[in-house]
Structure 1
Amino acid sequence: MSTTRLLLLGVVRIFQPAYGYQLRRELLTWNVQDWANINPGSIYTGLRTLAKHGYLQELDEGDRPGRTSYKLTTDGETEYFSLLRQMLWNVDGFRPDRMMVTLSFLWSLQRDEVLAALEARIAQLEQRQKAEPFAERQVLEDPGTPNHIIEMFRITAARDRGELEWTRSFRERVQAGDYSFGGEPPDWAPYPGMITHWGEIPTPPAD
């Protein structure tokens, strides 16, 4: 749920105030249903839940009944950065979606923090690599554990090796000045035609 929460807070933060249908349409262009384990139909429920918990403010359009837009509250802004930093600074080999959603919003942090966090991730991945043979040995020596379970450790270790290689190269690119981060001039801006629909209030498709 923390991945979904960060995803929703982050996209609202970009486009606020925005309507649920617009946010859903935007997230579908990110293909979140493939990598974030989020059902497109649950986006509306997620927005309402975040509003209920005080992370989003619902803004009713007086002349358009039933149309609710959202923007972050102060608590929502705090929660956004807390989740972003938590996922950036901590490796979770069983949840690759956490780094995917982190990359979506990494630009909102400053470059020095991103570099420090990447160094921390490299250290964690190197430690996991050192510990992996001993985890394998424990499985193989445990008479109560089927030997094929070892492959669960091996596929996770393979992911860790791939992420370690990528993190090292990504760190080098960030050090070299690639991309734009908090407090820096943006290195990309959408052309006007990409954002005109945010000024519209579309009619959601009929069920």
Structure 2
Amino acid sequence: MSTVRLLVLGSILRRGISHGYAVLSDITSWHADTWTSVKPGSIYHALDKLEAQGMTRTVNSEVNVKLGPSRKEYTVTKHGETEFSALLESALVSTDIQQLSVGIAFMDMLSRQKAIALLQQRRIALEKSIRFLRSLPTEERPSEPSKHPELVGIWVSYVENEAATTERILANIQAGKYAFNSELLEGE
């Protein structure tokens, strides 16, 4: 659920004010279904839940662009901004690929320095995991699944790839790649 909450809050924050269909359109246009397990129904459920928890509030639409009942438009409250920041920071240190993916999608909403610090924490945690995984005993004829050399090899390769990916992202950010909102605001 935190992945969906982060996507929904991020979409509304990028727009300032948004209705459910616009949030769904954003997430669909970002092809988030290819890098997360988010489903359309979970987006609307998250909108309801976020409003009930005081993280978003409804606002009156300035212009009713369609005939029929007015649509519900949302803005993010201070409580929601705090939740967004906490989820985003958590996502950038997470070893879960879906959470990291959403974190990367919104990392520009942090300062460059904060994004670097969080990704460095992730890299350190991954390096610790690699050392642990390499220390696991394996057996040619495994007495239990956790001692199967192929299984341990899969784990080591996966975490090594995650560490290398994190290192590449860090290098790109440190090299000045990508625009961060805080830098754009400083330039105004």
TM-score (norm 2): 0.84
**Which residues of 2 match residues 34-73 of structure 1 at below 5 A?**
34-61=34-61, 65-73=69-77
- SS of alignment partner, residue 185 of structure 1: helix
Deviation, 1:142, is: 8.1
Match of 1:121 in 2: 122
Check 1:44–1:105 CA distance in 2 against 1; reply closer, same or farther (3 A cut).
same
8 Å CA contact retained: 1:12, 1:71: yes
The 2-side partners of 1:175 and 1:149 are apart by: 39
Match of 2:160 in 1: 161
What amino acid sits opposite 1:47 in the alignment? Answer: L
8 Å CA contact retained: 2:56, 2:74: yes
Aligned length in residues:
181
Unaligned 5+ segments in structure 1 are 187-207
**Which residues of 2 match residues 131-170 of structure 1 at below 5 A?**
131-135=132-136, 137=137, 143=143, 145-146=144-145, 151-170=150-169
Q: Does 1:91 align with 2:94?
A: yes
TM-score (norm 1): 0.77
The 1-side partners of 2:87 and 2:32 are apart by: 18
- SS of alignment partner, residue 73 of structure 2: strand
Q: Percent identity?
A: 28
Match of 2:5 in 1: 5
CA RMSD of aligned residues (A): 2.6
Deviation, 1:40, is: 1.6
Q: Which moved more, 1:66-75 or 1:119-128?
A: 119-128
8 Å CA contact retained: 1:140, 1:147: no
Deviation, 1:176, is: 1.6
- SS of alignment partner, residue 14 of structure 1: helix
What amino acid sits opposite 2:94 in the alignment? Answer: V
The 1-side partners of 2:60 and 2:150 are apart by: 52
Match of 1:192 in 2: none
Deviation, 1:16, is: 2.4
Match of 1:100 in 2: 101
Deviation, 1:131, is: 0.6
The 1-side partners of 2:146 and 2:172 are apart by: 41
Match of 1:172 in 2: 171
Deviation, 1:25, is: 1.2
Q: Which moved more, 1:35-44 or 1:68-77?
A: 35-44
Deviation, 1:165, is: 1.4
Unaligned 5+ segments in structure 2 are none
